[in-house]
Amino acid sequence: MPLKAFTMPKWGIEMSEGMIGEWSVEEGKPFARGEVIALIETDKITNEVEAEADAKFVRIVAQQGETLPVGALLAVYGDDEPSAEVDAFIAAFRPADARMAASDTEDMIAEAAAETEVPPAAPQIDDSLAISPAARARAESGHLDVSSIAGSGRGGRIMLQDVEQALRPPADPQLKGPFDAQGEGNGFASPMARRLAARHGVDLKALKGTGPRGRICKDDVLSAAGAGAAAPSGEIEIVAMSPMRKAIARRLTEAKQTIPHFYLRRRVRADRLLSAREAAGRRGSVNDYLTRAVALALREVPEVNIQVRGTEIHRIPTADIAIAVATNKGLLTPVLRSAESLSVEQIREAVGDLAARARSSKLKQEEIEGGSFSLSNLGPYGVEQFDAIINPPQGAILAVGAARPEPIDDDGAIRIVPVLHLSLSCDHRAIDGADGARFLAALAKLIEHPERL
């Protein structure tokens, strides 16, 4: 078969790049139609790419873990062609859509600009100017403004050599020997390092700098003076962000910069809910009960069950709750649709399935998009209280900590019972404080009276 390109696919209009999560086939080994040949990770999900026909890769170009733009060459299909032909195919490859490769786009823009560039009009030379005919002709052909040239001819007449000199490009600088980084013998050091050296009596000339171009920095002086911390036993590990981690960073930065957050906090007794869970044989986690309570509270206070899109507020008719799930690649929030119509047992099964597929990177695109509200529970990790960042376009997120024993007023009697600390983060552009307070009040009633669940 002729050589064919396997390129980075495009899933969704927002996808601009992808990362090779894993190659499922080996170079030079045949694979069958329908067989998974690669796992490609986007900023949201990991997709399995299946072979469209029986074939084999004669060359795998992209390495596992490499991030490439949509349309980039990942591998080459073919038979046992000579290596030189495969090399030539790779060298001549260009993405079918120029928009998919920034470098190609830049090249095309540059070429188009070069083709359409109109040369500047030659400057007009005053007939009364003292300039030789040859110099005038050369200046006009070179589009040179001679008004600032000092002529070397008799009476300041501009000669041909004057024009040639003005048209000559500047010469490249010539290096005249090595640069003396140590200056005048005082050491090439930062101002802080100089002050510390004077304080501790350290001779800068005896130090070898670890900064840029051998510059002596603060740590070098402190180490020589015996005041620095011990050097680490190993090297710093630098890990590139995955597409998912970069998307999380981008979205959360945008959320904190553009969404006016305000926070409402409330303590809720959890002893009755925990007792109800025990009575039910622990068929369902505390988070499953909380999800059910949040769904019913959203139905009672629909002003919080919203999305904010530009200058519009979208009120969602169902409680589509995004459940925060920690994975080894970052935080994912699969959406539990119509949670208000599900029992605690059904929520347990649905959330368990979503969480398992989130951790194995098998969620579908539609399962992580949208949502009208988010729930983040760090109680299982021992966190007692925290504030969460809103996940746009949603209007609010509830942060739940671990239940801990605290004193409460129980009909005039002081009792010590497990208490949950709830923190509701709201988008003040669309949700007022009173609406958030009503939601927390409704949620507290449901948690403190679990028979309503």
Is 431 in contact with 308 (CB distance < 8 Å)? no
Cα 453 to Cα 120, 217, 333, 341, 378: the distances in Å are 79, 63, 24, 11, 22
Task: Provide the residue-wise pLDDT of the chain in tens; the chain has 453 residues.
Answer: 678 899 988 877 777 888 888 888 888 888 988 888 888 888 767 778 888 888 888 889 888 888 888 889 999 888 877 788 888 888 888 886 544 444 444 444 445 445 444 556 666 777 778 888 888 888 888 888 887 788 887 878 888 888 888 888 776 666 555 544 444 445 578 777 887 888 888 888 888 888 777 888 888 888 888 754 444 556 778 777 877 788 888 888 999 999 999 999 999 999 999 999 999 988 889 999 999 999 999 999 999 999 999 999 999 999 999 999 988 777 889 999 999 999 999 999 999 999 998 888 888 888 888 899 999 999 999 999 999 999 999 999 999 999 999 999 988 899 999 999 999 999 999 999 999 999 999 999 999 999 998
Judge: domain 191-225, CATH 4.10.320.10: yes
Is 347 in contact with 319 (CB distance < 8 Å)? no
Q: Kindly report the length of the chain.
A: 453
Same fold yes or no, 191-225 and 243-452:
no
**Can you give the pLDDT at residue 363?**
84
Domain boundaries, the chain: 4-110, 128-145+156-165, 191-225, 243-452
**Can you give the pLDDT at residue 77?**
85
CA atoms within 13 A of residue 288's CA, in its CB half-sphere: 22
The amino acid occupying position 216 is I
Cα 243 to Cα 45, 70, 112: the distances in Å are 9, 13, 33
Is 210 in contact with 217 (CB distance < 8 Å)? yes
**Can you give the pLDDT at residue 231?**
45
Question: Of these residues, 200, 314, 428, 449, which one is catalytic?
Answer: 428
Cα 317 from chain centroid? 32
Residue 120 DSSP class: P
How would you class 260 by CB atoms within 10 Å of its CB: exposed for 0-12, middle for 13-18, buried for 19 or more?
exposed
The amino acid occupying position 402 is A
| Nearest one of 259, 263, 255, 261 to 440, comparing CA atoms | 263
The CATH class given to the 243-452 domain equals alpha beta
Q: ω into residue 82 within 30 of 0, thus cis? A: no
Residue 320 has which token pair?
Answer: 């589509």
The amino acid occupying position 146 is V
The CATH class given to the 4-110 domain equals mainly beta
Active site residue 421: no
